[in-house]
Amino acid sequence: MSTTPDAGTLVLAATPIGDPRDAAPRLAEELATADVIAAEDTRRLKRLLSALGVSPIGQVLSYHDHNEAARTPELVERLLAGERVVVVTDAGMPSVSDPGYRLVAAAVARDVRVTCVPGPSAVLMALAVSGLPVDRFCFEGFLPRKAGERARLLAELADERRTMVFFEAPHRLAETLAAMGEAFGPTRRAAVCRELTKTYEEVRRGTLHKLTAWALDGVKGEITVVVTGAERKVTTIENELSGIRHRVEKGERLKDVCADVAARTGLSKKALYDAAVAAGKGEGPLGV
């Protein structure tokens, strides 16, 4: 879809996650020339501008969780008027566990061009240094603060085979690692990455049990947790037959159930189907 004629551009600008020297060269240019800079924290932006030696010519506005809904329409109107709006958050890429998504969605809905200035990422850096598999991963952001909601979400992730990345506040780290140990098993491997790119950068690797014990002494700083995915469960056709029977008795088609089980377990769909049919004739555990 083409963009709206004469509209401006929305720029999501990644900021350093710790060391200001990691800033992309284009970040300084965008901040210097933008018509509007929408910043999660204007005080942090001021420090970043000073570190980069930048004096912006545009207007600086606050754009954070508490005013995002109210300020988004104003920014969209300025974009439609042809202005270049740059969004920055405290660290990393806007809209990723930070303000920005609402504005991006609104801009896209009005066919306004959206682009970004790439830069440092706590997610990718934590993955890279974790020592855990990185060929496939998923980002889960911050877990719920309430214990019950957190436990339910972790239970849903217990069989996730991709490496998982989480953000967490330091004062909740030990509690979260313990909850992960309960959901995933205490021997699941993980890495806690603290203060990435900063003076006291630290990466702790080990089982969830060991990392929980370490975190009980107290941890400070920005935290990213990387947890290895679940191993594929080894099963047999015989082990799956009772589950197949239960689903068929509830009204699902046998072919569909066998296809689903085959995709999940790696077992042969035909072998599952044949075994289920045989069992249904009284020749196995599905017999009546």
For 181-233, what is each residue's pLDDT tens digit? 999 999 999 999 999 999 999 999 999 999 999 999 999 999 999 999 998 77
> From CA 164, how far away is CA 141, in angstroms rounded?
10
Q: What is the pLDDT of residues 163-177, one digit of tens each?
A: 999 999 999 999 999
What is the mean pLDDT of the segment spanning 49-55?
96
Return the minimum-mean-pLDDT range out of 134-138, 178-182, 229-233. Answer: 229-233
Q: Which residue bears the tokens 């303000």?
A: 99
Tell me the two tokens of residue 31.
Answer: 């901040």
What are the CA-CA distances from residue 240 to residues 110, 226, 248, 262, 269 (Å)? Answer: 50, 32, 12, 10, 12
CATH number listed for the domain at residues 123-227:
3.30.950.10
pLDDT at 88: 97
Report which of 68, 73, 88 is spatially closest to residue 23, judged by C-alpha positions.
Answer: 88
pLDDT at 5: 78
pLDDT tier at 2, thresholds 50, 70, 90: low
pTM given for the model: 0.78
pLDDT at 282: 52
DSSP string, the chain: -PPPTT--EEEEE-B-SS-GGGS-HHHHHHHHH-SEEEES-HHHHHHHHHHHT----SEEEE--TTTHHHHHHHHHHHHHTT-EEEEE-SSB-TTSSSTTHHHHHHHHHTT-EEEEE----HHHHHHHHH-S--SSEEEEEEPPSSHHHHHHHHHHHTT--SEEEEEE-GGGHHHHHHHHHHHH-TT-EEEEEESTTSTT-EEEEEEHHHHHHHHTT---S-EEEEEPPPPPPP--HHHHHHHHHHHHHTT--HHHHHHHHHHHH---HHHHHHHHHHIIIIISTT--
Average pLDDT of the chain to the nearest whole number: 93
Domain ranges of the chain: 9-120, 123-227, 237-283
What is the CATH superfamily name and number for domain 9-120? Tetrapyrrole methylase, N-terminal domain (3.40.1010.10)
What is the mean pLDDT of the segment spanning 33-55?
97
Report which of 283, 153, 170, 159 is spatially closest to residue 225, judged by C-alpha positions.
Answer: 170
Report which of 28, 35, 29 is spatially closest to residue 8, judged by C-alpha positions.
Answer: 35
pLDDT at 265: 83
Strand partners, 205: 191
